[in-house]
């Protein structure tokens, strides 16, 4: 297969972890006879420094002309002043998502037996966790009208029925290949948008996906049950704000946020793929960042955008094998840890041996 992939290393640890994910993609290219054209472009804080914009025109063109985008991380203290005219998150990430039409955020949460001790949650709650969050990404309170004066401020939360139906179908299609259960999270007892969310999801699933089980749960209950009975969840469907909060909460189940990948999907299989962690400027350029989230994001890229499911599975199995071998970065072990590059090389070698 031939494919064009835009690479946006970004800021902080982004270049370090992205380098290892690219190494893994190239190993897949070699092992399976594919032809990947990789174009590296600026994005985030480094792009502000170079061009004045976190999402320059050259980067926009590259993204639009690609089959998928692999992103490292963005932001850092240098660009964190809320009074700055342009910031990596708002004028970068949010604008990029809207521009590319990536409206569905997919975040799998899976525990590895070897890493259970790393989680602050009691071990008995952590067996057999395998869930997927499906978060609406381009609507809701983050994209609503905002007003601010010296004495008051407001953020409008707005959703259309069409937006809710679109994200619900994404969740339903994923659920059909899993345990056929969707948990929809809302606050329908007080919020009008949540009332529309609940009625729309109920109607759509009943009409189009009769083989699926749909349950509704309030956001406060979801936050509690995510820690007290996490193995009960399969596919969790949320709006933008609730999904942002719950997915970060769920990250502690795995023992390290560095293990977690994500996908931001649009129409026609196009997507932006990135680890869920931030730029971690405090450990940048030390060679200790965990590249597994970025590597597993590359696996999601192969699965969702290029429909290379076998290749994606090989990456996932290789990451699992490296963990079983005890080849771990500093966030996963208190002693005998290895570098970012060594983990990436170990995953690459397992792929080449497949």
Q: Is 220 a catalytic residue?
A: yes
Say whether 142 is catalytic. Answer: yes
Q: Is 232 a catalytic residue?
A: no
Q: What number of other Cβ atoms are within 10 A of residue 65's Cβ?
A: 10
Give the Cα separation of 316 and 135 in Å (integer). Answer: 22
Catalytic residue flag (residue 248): yes
* Active-site residue, selected from the candidate residues 130, 155, 232, 244: 244
- In angstroms, the CA 123 to CA 118 distance is 9
Which of 55, 142, 159, 209 is flagged as catalytic?
142
Q: Distances in Å between the alpha carbon of 168 and those of 88, 176, 291?
A: 29, 12, 31
Whole-Å CA distances, 172 to 85, 178, 210, 308: 39, 10, 10, 21
112: annotated active-site residue:
no
Residue labelled with tokens 């601010």: 148
The string over 141-153, giving b where at least 16 C-beta atoms fall within 10 Å of a residue's C-beta and e elsewhere, is bbbeeeeeeeeee
Residue 159 main-chain phi, psi, to 5 deg: -135, 145
Candidate list 49, 90, 122, 220, residue with the active-site label: 220
State the catalytic residue, choosing from 130, 155, 232, 248.
248
CB-based contact 291:14 (threshold 8 Å): no
Which residue in the list 23, 187, 330, 350 is annotated as catalytic? 187
Residue 50 has which token pair? 């170079």
SS3 content of the chain, % helix, strand, coil (to 5): 50, 20, 30
- Which residues, in sequence order, are bridge partners of residue 106? 134, 263
Which residues are known catalytic residues?
142, 187, 220, 244, 248
């Amino acid at each position: 297969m031939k494919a064009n992939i835009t690479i946006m290393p970004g800021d902080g640890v982004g270049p370090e972890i992205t380098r290892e994910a690219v190494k893994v993609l190239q190993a897949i290219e070699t092992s399976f006879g594919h032809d990947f054209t990789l174009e590296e472009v600026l994005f985030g804080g480094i792009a502000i420094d170079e061009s004045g914009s976190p999402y320059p025109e050259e980067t926009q063109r590259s993204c639009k002309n690609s089959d998928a985008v692999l992103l490292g991380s963005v932001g850092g203290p240098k660009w964190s002043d809320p009074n700055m005219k342009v910031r990596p998150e708002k004028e970068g990430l949010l604008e990029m998502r809207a521009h590319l039409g990536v409206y569905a955020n997919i975040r799998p949460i899976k525990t590895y037996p070897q890493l259970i001790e790393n989680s602050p949650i009691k071990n008995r709650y952590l067996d057999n966790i395998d869930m997927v969050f499906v978060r609406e990404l381009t609507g809701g309170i983050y994209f609503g009208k905002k007003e601010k004066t010296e004495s008051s401020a407001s953020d409008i939360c707005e959703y259309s029925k069409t937006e809710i139906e679109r994200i619900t179908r994404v969740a339903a299609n994923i659920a059909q290949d899993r345990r056929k259960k969707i948990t929809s999270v809302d606050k329908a007892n007080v919020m009008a948008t949540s009332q529309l969310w609940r009625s729309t999801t109920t109607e759509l699933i009943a009409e189009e996906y009769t083989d699926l089980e749909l349950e509704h749960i309030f956001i406060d209950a979801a936050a509690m049950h995510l820690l007290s009975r996490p193995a009960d969840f399969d596919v969790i469907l949320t709006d933008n704000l609730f999904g942002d909060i719950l997915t970060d909460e769920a990250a502690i189940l795995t023992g390290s946020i560095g293990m977690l990948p994500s996908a931001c999907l649009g129409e026609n299989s196009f997507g932006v793929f990135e680890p869920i962690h931030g730029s971690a400027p405090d450990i940048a350029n030390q060679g200790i960042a965990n590249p597994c989230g970025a590597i597993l994001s590359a696996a999601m890229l192969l699965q969702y955008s290029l429909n290379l499911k076998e290749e994606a599975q090989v990456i996932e199995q290789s990451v699992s094998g490296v963990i079983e071998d005890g080849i771990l970065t500093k966030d996963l072990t208190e002693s005998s840890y290895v570098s970012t590059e060594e983990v990436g090389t170990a995953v690459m070698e397992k792929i080449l041996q497949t």
